Chain A
Amino acid sequence: KAGVTQTPRYLIKTRGQQVTLSCSPISGHRSVSWYQQTPGQGLQFLFEYFSETQRNKGNFPGRFSGRQFSNSRSEMNVSTLELGDSALYLCASTPGTAQETQYFGPGTRLLVL
């Protein structure tokens, strides 16, 4: 079974631009969660989607948004990029039931200049 895939793997943007990241979960998994990882803050939860609906949301500004498609693939969008948005963005998938093991993708490393 293929693992979680994320595209692109690396991205360089400038302040004010917007960016869209993509995540394809493991086949059959219906829940996709997004996380931001920075050296100073560690891993922080952004949001979780299940069956095309946002089920949980972390404490990030509205510039961070996401969506999930009927095939469970998910996208995350960040508008009006700031320097502080430079981070590793990880997505993780589970079949959808709580307390299951999460499977993480390799991440997208975003650098904002």
Chain B
Amino acid sequence: KNQVEQSPQSLIILEGKNCTLQCNYTVSPFSNLRWYKQDTGRGPVSLTIMTFSENTKSNGRYTATLDADTKQSSLHITASQLSDSASYICVAPDNFGNEKLTFGTGTRLTIIP
């Protein structure tokens, strides 16, 4: 069964600090790995999409890495801001080339001033 596991479940850091969120996936065949940000009460917003040939991808202060050999991905947030408080969800398609996605349960990040 395809699975996406994320850690930690929740994280609290001070504003201005960096943090790294982890994602382990067991999806085969592998197509791409996505990170989404979801603010409370709103729909998820895509941060990055990475294919198996990409090791790193950045979107502003967000940098995602992918190790296709170990099936691990991480999302690094630099110089955190209060607006970064949200759930971060790691996502992988179940089957190559379609939109049937398997979602991780997310990491709840709280930035405190």
Please list the residues of chain A having a beta carbon within 8 angstroms of any beta carbon in chain B.
4, 31, 33, 35, 41-45, 48, 55-56, 58, 90, 92, 94, 98-99, 101-107
- Interface SS, B side: loop
The chain B residue sitting closest to A100, CB to CB, is: B49
Q: How far is the CB of B8 from chain A (nearest CB, A)?
A: 15
Are A98 and B99 touching (Cβ within 8 A)?
Answer: yes
> Bound complex: CA of A94 vs CA of B45, how far in Å?
13
Given A99-B51, A101-B46, A104-B44, the answer on whether A45 and B105 have CB atoms closer than 8 Å is no
B113 close to chain A: CB less than 8 A:
no
Are A106 and B31 touching (Cβ within 8 A)?
Answer: no
Complex interface bits, B76-113 against A, C-beta within 8 A gives 1, otherwise 0: 00000000000001000110111111111110000000
16 A-B pairs with CB atoms under 8 Å apart are A4-B43, A33-B99, A42-B103, A42-B105, A42-B106, A43-B44, A45-B101, A48-B99, A55-B98, A55-B99, A92-B43, A98-B97, A98-B98, A99-B93, A103-B46, A107-B43
B interface residues, tally (CB under 8 Å): 24
Most buried by B among A35, A43, A48, A106: A43
Given A43-B89, A99-B31, A104-B45, the answer on whether A31 and B103 have CB atoms closer than 8 Å is no
The chain A residue sitting closest to B97, CB to CB, is: A98
Q: How far is the CB of A10 from chain B (nearest CB, A)?
A: 11
- Interface SS, A side: strand
Are B99 and A105 touching (Cβ within 8 A)?
Answer: no
Q: How far is the CB of A26 from chain B (nearest CB, A)?
A: 12
**Residues of chain B contacted by A94 (CB below 8 angstroms):** 99
Are B103 and A56 touching (Cβ within 8 A)?
Answer: no
**Residues of chain B contacted by A31 (CB below 8 angstroms):** 99
**Shortest beta-carbon contacts, A-B, top 8:** A104-B43, A43-B103, A42-B105, A98-B97, A56-B100, A101-B46, A48-B99, A104-B44
